[in-house]
Amino acid sequence: MAGFGLLKRLVGGGERRHSEPRVRAPVATRVLVVDDSATIRAVLGKMLSQDGYEVLRAADGESALELVRNESPHLVFLDIVLPGVSGFEVLRTLRREPVTQLIPIVMISGNVQATEQFYVQRYGADDFMKKPFGRGEVFERIRQLVLSGRLPARAPVEQPLPPAGVSQAEWDAIPDIAMPDEPHGSHELPPQPEEPPVVG
């Protein structure tokens, strides 16, 4: 039994983990989500916005580079497989430019070959996230960036800001799980079921 207790202390007992304060970046931290899938942009954007981050979105590498240069995001989630300029090329470009070379970048992909390539040659990315991913994985990446000093920490009293320009119905319609890109090029949000008529 003593061995089990030691193992629990080494890996961190469940009781302590739940009592520790959540580690997050400050409210209104600008996060750029770069993915050619509208679904991924919407779902990851919703996850981030719900936690108080300001979300920017780009569907391709060229738009991503323009947004980074004009909006100076604090963090980039960057898909590897993009139309035109690939995510690896965007990463290399950002790492070469003095103004953008220190921005934390998390690469994302559902493509097995791209994932293997990432592990063989990282090109200076901070982390990697494989599709499909959930909310916990997204915020663990941010937590690690805060703990390593790549992002500042959020003060405990800060409250998330609601997203601007999105209706509550649109917001509620976005699912909470980010699935990989569709294999046949369909990147649109799936049709939402209609509300049943109210009787009485």
Confidence category of residue 117, pLDDT binned at 50, 70, 90: confident
Average pLDDT in the 175-196 region?
62
pLDDT at 115: 72
pLDDT at 165: 81
Q: How do residues 6-32 score in pLDDT, each as one tens digit?
A: 334 334 444 334 445 688 999 999 999
pLDDT at 175: 80
pLDDT at 80: 92
Q: How do residues 60-112 score in pLDDT, each as one tens digit?
A: 999 999 999 999 999 999 999 999 999 999 999 999 999 999 999 999 988 87
Asked whether the predicted pLDDT for residue 127 surpasses 80, the reply is yes
| Domain topology for 23-167 | Rossmann fold (3.40.50)
Of 115 and 98, the one with more pLDDT? 98
Q: How do residues 135-145 score in pLDDT, each as one tens digit?
A: 999 999 999 99
pLDDT at 170: 81
pLDDT at 112: 75
pLDDT at 12: 43
Asked whether the predicted pLDDT for residue 1 surpasses 50, the reply is no
In SS3 terms, the chain reads as: CHHHHHHHHHHCCHHHHHHCCCCCCCCCCEEEEECCCHHHHHHHHHHHHHCCCEEEEECCHHHHHHHHHHHCCCEEEEECCCCCCCHHHHHHHHHHCCCCCCCCEEEEECCHHHHHHHHHCCCCCCEEEECCECHHHHHHHHHHHHHCCCCCCCCCCCCCCCCCCCCHHHHHHCCCCECCCCCCCCCCCCCCCCCCCCCC
CA-wise closest residue to 163 among 26, 24, 33, 27: 27
pLDDT above 90: percentage of residues in the chain = 52
Q: Are 56 and 30 in contact (CB under 8 A)?
A: yes
